[in-house]
Amino acid sequence: MNTVVLASGRGSNLRAICRAIDDGRCKARIVGVVSDRRSAAALEFADARGIPTRVVSLKKGGDRDQWNIELANQVASLSPELVVLAGFMKILGPSFLERFPGRIINVHPALLPSFPGHDGPKDALEAGVRISGCTVHIVDDGVDTGPIVAQAAVPVLPDDTPETLHARIQSQEHQLLPGVIHRIAIGDIELNPLKMKAAHTDPSKALSVPEV
Ligand code: GRF
C-alpha cells in the first residue's frame, strides 16, 4: 500500500513505520514524506533513506486555502493509497481533505475524545488522569475529532512531567501506528467513517476494530 507520511518534526513515528516495514511487520511502502517545515528531522531521515520528499510551507499571513491546494497537489503527485499524519502540526482544510476522502489517518498523543489539540500529554497531566495513551483516528475537518481506529493506553505516574508522559505514550505510538497501517494494507481494517461512527453509537453495528 503506497503511503505518504506528513510530518513537521522529529519523525520518530516515521522511523517506527520504516522499522516495521524493514522487519516485515508492516506491508506498506513509504512513497513520500511531505512537510511544512524545511528543517524537520523527518525530512533528513527520509532523504537518507532515499524516500522522495516535498516541502510546502505556509508563510505567516499566507493564503491557507492556496496552501491546502498546493499541499494536496504535492501529496497527490506521489499517488498515495493512504496518507498518514505523523506529527504534522497544521490543521488541514477542506481543499486538502476532499482530495483523499477516508484515506487520511492521524496519530494523537492522548486517548481521544479526551485532550485533543496541541498539548495532549500536558492537558492529561493537568486533569489528573491516571491513564493516558495514544489514538489513531481518521482525519475529518475538526481538530482530532475523526472516527477512532485504534488506541493504546499507558499509566500516568506520580512524578510524570509532560515530557516523560509523552515519551511513554510515544513508545506505544511506535507500535500502534505501524500496526494499524499494516492492518489497513491487508484489508483487516476498513477506513469507512460512516461504518465507524455507526458502530460507536449503535453496538449492534459494532465493527470488530481489531486489537493492534
Ligand atoms: C506524536 O506524539 C504524535 O502523536 C503527535 O506528534 C508527535 C510526533 O512525534 N501528533 P514524531 O515527530 O513522530 O516523533
Segment 118-127 mean pLDDT: 98
Per-residue confidence (pLDDT) for residue 202, from 0 to 100:
62
**pLDDT exceeds cutoff 70 at 205:** no
Full 3-state SS string of the chain: CEEEEECCCCCHHHHHHHHHHHCCCCCCEEEEEEECCCCCHHHHHHHHHCCCEEECCCCCCCCHHHHHHHHHHHHHCCCCCEEEECCCCCCCCHHHHCCCCCCEEEEECCCCCCCCCCCHHHHHHHHCCCEEEEEEEECCCCCCCCCEEEEEEEECCCCCCHHHHHHHHHHHHHHHHHHHHHHHHCCCCCCCHHHHHHHHHCHHHCCCCCCC
Per-residue confidence (pLDDT) for residue 207, from 0 to 100:
47
**pLDDT exceeds cutoff 50 at 77:** yes
Segment 184-212 mean pLDDT: 68
Domains of the chain: 2-205 (3.40.50.170)
**pLDDT exceeds cutoff 80 at 76:** yes
Tell me the average pLDDT of the chain.
93
Per-residue confidence (pLDDT) for residue 195, from 0 to 100:
65
CA angle 54-60-66, nearest 5°? 55
Which amino acid residue places its CA nearest to atom 14 of ligand 1?
12
Segment 64-89 mean pLDDT: 98
| Residue 90 alpha carbon to ligand 1 centre in Å | 12
| Residue 11 alpha carbon to ligand 1 centre in Å | 7
More confident residue, 130 or 60: 130
Segment 10-29 mean pLDDT: 98
Q: What is the pLDDT of residues 148-197, one digit of tens each?
A: 999 999 999 999 999 999 999 999 999 999 999 999 999 999 887 666 66
Which amino acid residue places its CA nearest to atom 6 of ligand 1?
87
Q: What is the pLDDT of residues 135-148, one digit of tens each?
A: 999 999 999 999 99
Which amino acid residue places its CA nearest to atom 10 of ligand 1?
87
Per-residue confidence (pLDDT) for residue 191, from 0 to 100:
87
Mutate to test the pocket of ligand 1, among 5, 12, 13 (most ligand atoms within 8 A of CB): 13
- Predicted structure pTM score: 0.92
Is 200 in the active site? no
